[in-house]
Amino acid sequence: MKLIKLQVLSGALLLSFSFLAQGQGQVGGQGKEAPLKLSDVLPIGPQVKVGKLANGLTYYVQKNARPEKKLELRLVVKAGSILEDDDQQGLAHFTEHMAFNGSTNFKRNELVSYLQSIGVKFGADLNAYTSFDETVYILPIPTDKKEIVEQGFQVLEDWAHGLSFNDADIDSERGIVLEELRMGKGVDDRMNKVVLPKVLNGSRYAQRMPIGKEDIIKNFKYDAIKRFYRDWYRPDLMAVVVVGDIEPEAAQKLIEQHFSKLKNPAHPRPREYAKIPERQESEGIVFTDKEVSNNSVYIRYPIQPWPAGETLADYRQKLIESLYSFILSQRMYELTQQANPPFLQGGSGMNKIVRGYRSFGAGAVLGKGGVTPAINALVEEDERARQYGFTASEVERAKKGILRTYENLYNERDKSDSSGYAAEYIRHFLEDETIPGIAAEYRYARELIPEISLSEVNAAVKVAIPDNQSKLVIYTGVDKPGVAAPKAADLVAIANAAEKISVKAQEEKVYANQLMPVLPKPGTIVKQTVNAKIGTTELVLSNGVKVVLKPTDFNNDQVMMAGLRYGGWSLFDDKDVFAAHYASSIVGQMGILNYTPNDVVKVLAGKSVSSQASVNSLNESVSGGSGSDDIESMLQLAYLQMTQPRKDAAIYSAYVDRQRELAQNNMARPESVFYDTITATIYNNSPRVLRAAKPADFDQLALDRVMEIYKSRLSSARDFTFFIVGSFDVEKIKPLIATYLASLPTGEVPVAFKDEGVRPVRGVVKKEVRAGADPKSTISLSFTGDAKYSREERLRLQALIEVLNIKLIEVLREKMGVIYSGGMNGSLNRLPYGNYSISANLPCAPENVDKVIAATFAEIEKIKQDGADEADLNKVKSSWLKGYQKGMRENGYWMASLQNAFFNNSNPEDILKYEERVQALKPSDLKAAAKLYFDMNNYVQVVLYPEK
């Protein structure tokens, strides 16, 4: 069920918010439909075939053409950590790991290797997860060969009842799972151990975290995991989901062929769901730790049962809840825009706890005022809504928002990715979420939402927001001298007192119904060039601005825009670099014309629009997106961000205070100290390289100078090139381009970046960072240097990195068991000078640091001496080519390619030669690249260790 849940975005992103509105499109081709009845049970939509085998296994099959020649397979098991016996804690998750460690038809490591050979990437594509109540296996496969499809179903069958559980393989996997558990250690883990038992009211959920217990993972008997598999991996608790480029009859036949033979135990254990008891009295919890990065407060009201709902009346009620949730979020965001805001970030609403339960909650990141003003503001704002409800205009704007979102989903119904449908069917199986299909849901929304009255929304929010009920009030904060934490009893007292504070109704405020009351005088299009090879049209406008148009049919209701011009903060002196880094974020917070960001949301209610203007390191940019009917609003928003940014001292002050407060505790986390040290070491503490901000850094900022920097780079569109990709008509968009882009001022400004002279340190530099209380280490290796840029050379470097990642997982994880995840990434850059950068990030146990470094260098040396294994290179090629075929039908891929061509001064037609360049790669190319880029006399090694 694609029921919409709208949430407020953070202030920094608010102008990128999708302004959602009622659409005018109608569901076509359905003829006269029977009137809707609220008592009707929602049907399963015709888009999916849902069936059940004789053994109880459920299946979902849908033919879907997006992406082409690809099939999304899922095995869903209604078995998670909640079902573990005392000696099995962590073994539901361990079972998931064993699915990749040998089965009836695949020996250990054969499965991953085979799937990589057909273009399925481990981790990115092939994956799985275990939660409290379920385990889900994710297998996307290509469909260009029949045998690959058949093998995919064989993999699912092996997972369902054919895992080997060899003793040696179990023992080998213990180290990997323990590394995953180690990675999860830290302040969040310590906090969860204190807070979760209270949040979950002492239920079994709090005693069965999916990662399990360390001593059990180390020492469990082999039969314990086999017993879990026997008890719970059975067909009556399983579903197979098949969505993609396959005929439904063929898919159903394969399901029957592979899963009909599965049998349930003669005496199955009952599959029961844990119950969460009611909270009887209010309670406060205080958790402090020196690694907490910000102080926060959360109020959790009584947990209540949450049935899925199966009738149209239930669906209508959830629409009402979406309306009040969105309005509440907007109101909370407005509080952060005050000169002295009560909190840095805040929100409230209904939240899912676990399957079948939810609760109303309110939470905030605390500002300099601390706990009391934050709790007061959260409670008062909720009380205002509970006592007085909302205004008519607030509800109408929210209605428009939800309707516009439904319209977009309906318009994209034949262009939606198979993975999204698969996720929907998983929720249907696990949580009984209804799946009537988007055509039906769009009809429900169009007919039900306009009839929802203001009084109904107000009545619903009055019921949702608790009135003087028991509550759990949680404070989490930094433990350091000078920071006083509240007492647990005081938290409850503050919340109870806040409920008694008198509040007034929200005043109705009228907003304009259009963004620009006066349109700019249009310019003209002076030149047009068509590139038939890649389907682009390039326009030169009367003000010199260039526009590259790429109309597509990849989506029905998506338009993407990007504008680029060289310059950026490279042009500013050292004293202005910090302000230049923050200039576009700050100005973006303050709005446009005389509208705050929240005002803009309301003025553009009902439109799917986003835009953001930025000053970056080497360039200025404007990025945006819209629905096909909202292109004009997107261009208006971009025009105003460049020409009429708003200045607001109160919002500026609130923003700077918020950043200063966040910076205050940011370095409390060991990871923050670690990555800041890496940056400082590589760039030798250069003042031009932005590091983790300190509170005192914000003393450098001044509103007038920030505005001056922003306007100096973005008030002129001189030498800008805009790219517009998506579902639009070239002839229809031309007048809009003439009005809003050709009219942009193009005054004299520098239009070339400056090489700032920042260069990485040379030689071998090694540092240790001692931070954190947990036995965790992370290794960072950085190789940098000058290099000549070309597309071919960049591809060789990328292939080298990908092959090394295959070897690192194979050796460090599967053979040695010393890491759970980690790997390398790298880039070859033309700007600001020809250079390359390769970095490895390898989390591990402190006692394994030397082993991991030695093994990593050994794999690098092997490629330098012998070249890449051809089978590994072919795996990389296969993955890339599958990704390329998919990307060629995506707007985002084309947008990125066109921008890369601009940045690197290359021919955009090169996108058509990608397959040719990939196929030309040879193992010897990677050998040469390894010798060139891995200079063992020039790298930076930084290792994080726990504090002594």
The per-residue pLDDT for range 124-140, each reduced to its tens digit, is: 789 999 999 999 999 99
- Banded model confidence at residue 23, pLDDT cuts 50, 70, 90: very low
Was domain 49-259 assigned CATH 2.40.50.100? Answer: no
Task: Give the C-alpha separation, 898 to 891, whole Å.
Answer: 11
Q: At which residue do the structure tokens 């294994």 appear? A: 869
What's this model's pTM, rounded to 2 decimal places? 0.93
- Banded model confidence at residue 313, pLDDT cuts 50, 70, 90: very high
Q: Which CATH architecture has domain 279-498?
A: 2-Layer Sandwich (3.30)
Task: Give the C-alpha separation, 332 to 343, whole Å.
Answer: 10
Question: Could you tell me the end-to-end alpha-carbon distance of the chain, in angstroms, rounded to an integer?
Answer: 52
Say which residue, 26 or 660, is predicted with more confidence: 660
Q: pLDDT tens digits, residue range 685-738?
A: 999 998 999 999 999 999 999 999 999 999 999 999 999 999 999 999 999 999
Find out whether 565 and 714 touch, Cβ atoms under 8 Å: no
CATH, domain range 525-740: 3.30.830.10
SS3 375: helix
CATH 3.30.830.10 residue ranges of the chain are: 49-259, 279-498, 525-740, 764-945
Q: pLDDT tens digits, residue range 195-206?
A: 999 999 999 999
Find out whether 451 and 312 touch, Cβ atoms under 8 Å: no
424: nearest Cα among 128, 134, 1: 1
Region of 588 please: left (phi>0), alpha (psi -120 to 50) or beta. Answer: alpha
Task: Give the C-alpha separation, 681 to 778, whole Å.
Answer: 16
Q: pLDDT tens digits, residue range 561-571?
A: 999 999 999 99
Instruction: Please report, for residues 26, 34, 446, 672, the alpha-carbon distance to residue 31 in angstroms, rounded to integers and kept in the order given.
Output: 12, 10, 16, 60
Q: pLDDT tens digits, residue range 915-924?
A: 999 999 999 9
849: nearest Cα among 942, 772, 779, 771: 779
What is the CA 602 to chain-centroid distance, rounded?
25
CATH, domain range 764-945: 3.30.830.10
Q: pLDDT tens digits, residue range 134-193?
A: 999 999 999 999 999 999 999 999 999 999 999 999 999 999 999 999 999 999 999 999
Q: pLDDT tens digits, residue range 433-486?
A: 999 999 999 999 999 999 999 999 999 999 999 998 999 999 999 998 888 899
Q: pLDDT tens digits, residue range 88-136?
A: 999 999 999 999 999 999 998 899 999 999 999 888 789 999 999 999 9
Q: Please enumerate, as own/partner, the contacts of 699-708 that have beta carbons within 8 Å and a separation of 24 or more.
A: 700/575, 700/578, 700/579, 701/578, 701/579, 701/582, 701/586, 701/656, 702/579, 703/647, 703/649, 703/652, 705/576, 705/579, 706/579, 706/582, 706/583, 706/586, 706/587, 706/652, 707/587, 707/645, 707/647
pLDDT beyond 70 at 874? yes
Question: What's the mean pLDDT when you consider all of the chain?
Answer: 94
